[in-house]
Structure 1
Amino acid sequence: MYWRWLWLCIKMIYQLLCCSVSMIFFCFNVFWLFCNLAIPWCTLSLVVVCVASKFVKLQRSPNEKRLLSLLSAPDDWPSYWPIANRAAGYDAPENSKAAIKKCLTRGYRNVLLDAGLTSCGEIVIANPSRLAVAQQPLSELQKLNITEQHPMGSHFEAESVTTLRQLSDYVEAEATSATLFLRLHDNSARMLDQLQKFMAANEAFTQRTIVISRSPLAIYQLRKLRPEIICGLWHETYLSLAILKSSTLITSIYGAIFRNIIAPVIGISVVFLSKEEFNLHIADLWRNVGVRPIVYMVNSPNEKRYFQKTMKIQYLTDSLRSEPHLLMKA
């Protein structure tokens, strides 16, 4: 009886060793197959994509001088560096005419505004994270007083949500020096159709506006319809897993796809990058493909001084009160 159990144990150990060896050989064969077939095919596929992208790419900007005039020249320091996010939404009610006016009064002309589409198909200037733009018609949105949502709202006159048409009329009459960055929060076909029709009928507004979107496909579709529109990409961090971020190879490939394939194909002129993932090397890589980098969100005076003096990069900020030159005067 004892010998029988001993024999069974030896037999099981032997079978376990055989299975382990077989598994090791199987893994080795799979790895060999991947190295000899998959990697060359991946390389070939990447080459095909790069070649194909040359045939479908759109012209970046038909007028580089117009882009430079929109962003303003470094000679306009200090107003050159900051771009007021939501018209400096910390200093005045965000996305409001009062906020735009305050920016211009201070001497800052670069203003970024949010754009959404209402349920009735009207483009409005509003932050969808605060107002349920897509679920409400324009008539309901315009009943709201957007100044009430700001901590200093009592210092401003009551103001309702502005439509794209009203913004265009206001800029034409009161803010002729403003450069508008219109950030699309709705990238649907309906939104793009409404926007391109509006910009086709309002040449003056188109000449002073840079359209920003996080969707490369939306930018491509818009510029395919209207190549004269200057567009920018809002680049967000999609590599959320720490193991992916820690891999230099993966992050390099990911960045190269955006810079060397997507950016030339859709024809963007500017790109908004997170300050956490920005350095001089990345700035040079974007400039090498003809795209101007802009950093977000930069709010502290020390950070602003760093991006002005060291990086020499324009930045997006929520407040113009913390500009270094203003604090130095104070």
Structure 2
Amino acid sequence: MLCQLEDDWTLFTLVFAVALLVPRSPLRFCGLVAALYVLWPAFRFRQAPPWNARQVIRPAGDTGSPMVSVIAHRGGGHDAPENTVAAIREASKNGASGVELDVGFTADGVAVLMHDDTVDRTTDGSGELSQMSFFQLAKLDAAAKHRLRDAFAGEKVPTLEEAVEECLKLGLTIYFDVKGHADQAAAVLKELYMKHPALYDTSVVCSFEPRVIYRMRQADPDVVTALTHRPWSLSRFGDGIPRFSSLWRHRWATLMDVLLDWAHHHLLWRLCGTSAILVQKDSISPDYVQYWARKRVALVAWTVNTAVEKQYYQDVLHVNYMTDSLLGDCDAHY
């Protein structure tokens, strides 16, 4: 409760400070502040039932105590073609607790597994996913560009339904990574949860886009959700290279990054009622783990690919992590 009050007062203090910089009548100013106090509780979501969140994010081991979960990133894209049924099966065989799967949509509205906006990087096809029908997508080889293409030749891009059924059969936790299409994704996922009630205890809906999570909570407040965050994601690519050649655009994006980082840590997780936050591994320290633990928000790291890093998260930080390979070190980089 103390943490909740601290977060509320941090938000309100910022709003007061901004409001004071804007000339306005005392009456309008008081109205603004009063509206904030009234609307904030009305529009924010509570976290999903805690027993669901604990069961999904920190399952008990053989001794009954919480264990670190190892989640195969994109199904384990180093060990098998990413976001395929083959990858899900390999992840299960190699000891993963769960899989992270990317949700995309074809031109005719079929929910499928695909990370990129195009099919070029992972298949033998070319073009925008959103411009392809599922019939066209089904003709592509999802293993064509993979290092083990010969072993998995002919693997298809699966529908979300096919992937879910396989995960449920294998007893894997699912992290649905939704890239966009907030309304469409919320509707499709709600239908999946209604069809497969076991998902309430075995899955998390996560996204970089807070709107996706907010819409999911509106569609079904019992679903366990998580925000995904990487510092400087608006101004820089994952490898640190600036997104914009224009200096003023880069500086503007950097300022937006600062605000977004603040929002993730003080506002968005509470507005959406998320049970977890997925954070890029380079930003995580013991103090950072405690920061989220005090807020009762689970922390999941991505993407942890070396043996030393895995041991650190397992034995020192005791934090769940995503990895591209369950078989040891790997050079996969996304």
Given the superposition, is the C-alpha separation of residues 40 and 302 from structure 1 closer, same or farther in structure 2, using an over 3 Å criterion? farther
Distance 1:108 1:304 in 2: 13
Q: Does 1:268 align with 2:274?
A: yes
Distance 2:19 2:186 in 1: 45
Specify the alignment match of 1:133 in structure 2.
129
Q: Does 1:123 align with 2:129?
A: no
- For 1:168, give the aligned amino acid: V
Say which of 159, 162, 169 aligns to 1:166: 162
Specify the alignment match of 1:145 in structure 2.
141
- Computed over aligned residues only, the root mean square deviation of the Cα atoms, in angstroms, reads 3.4
- For 1:154, give the aligned amino acid: D
Could you say which structure has the larger radius of gyration? Answer: 1
Aligned length, in residue pairs: 284
Say which of 290, 300, 303 aligns to 1:297: 303
- Tell me the TM-score normalised to structure 1 length: 0.75
Distance 2:66 2:193 in 1: 30
- For 2:204, give the aligned amino acid: I
Specify the alignment match of 1:30 in structure 2.
none
**Cα deviation 1:137-191 (Å, max 9, x = unaligned):** 100111111122211121125221111222233334x41x110111012234233
Cα shift at 1:227 = 0.8
Q: Does 1:57 align with 2:47?
A: no
Aligned-partner SS, 1:83: strand
- For 1:149, give the aligned amino acid: K
Structure 1 gap ranges (5+):
1-33, 325-330
Cα shift at 1:261 = 2.0
Aligned-partner SS, 1:204: helix
- Tell me the TM-score normalised to structure 2 length: 0.74
Say which of 216, 223, 247 aligns to 1:222: 216
Aligned-partner SS, 1:217: helix
Structure 2 gap ranges (5+):
1-16, 120-127, 237-249
Say which of 35, 38, 41 aligns to 2:21: 38
Aligned-partner SS, 2:327: coil
Contact 1:79–1:108 (CA<8 Å) still a contact in 2?
no
Q: Does 1:95 align with 2:78?
A: no
Cα shift at 1:55 = 2.6
Structure showing the higher helix proportion among its residues: 1
- For 1:38, give the aligned amino acid: L
**Cα deviation 1:173-220 (Å, max 9, x = unaligned):** x41x11011101223423322332332233234442211111112211
- For 1:112, give the aligned amino acid: E
Say which of 51, 57, 62 aligns to 1:71: 57
Given the superposition, is the C-alpha separation of residues 265 and 151 from structure 1 closer, same or farther in structure 2, using an over 3 Å criterion? same
Distance 1:75 1:35 in 2: 48
Say which of 94, 102, 106 aligns to 1:106: 94
**Cα deviation 1:235-274 (Å, max 9, x = unaligned):** 1324638989999xx95x7544323321111111111112
**Cα deviation 1:109-133 (Å, max 9, x = unaligned):** 2110111011101100122255132
**Cα deviation 1:55-80 (Å, max 9, x = unaligned):** 32112112x22322223446369983
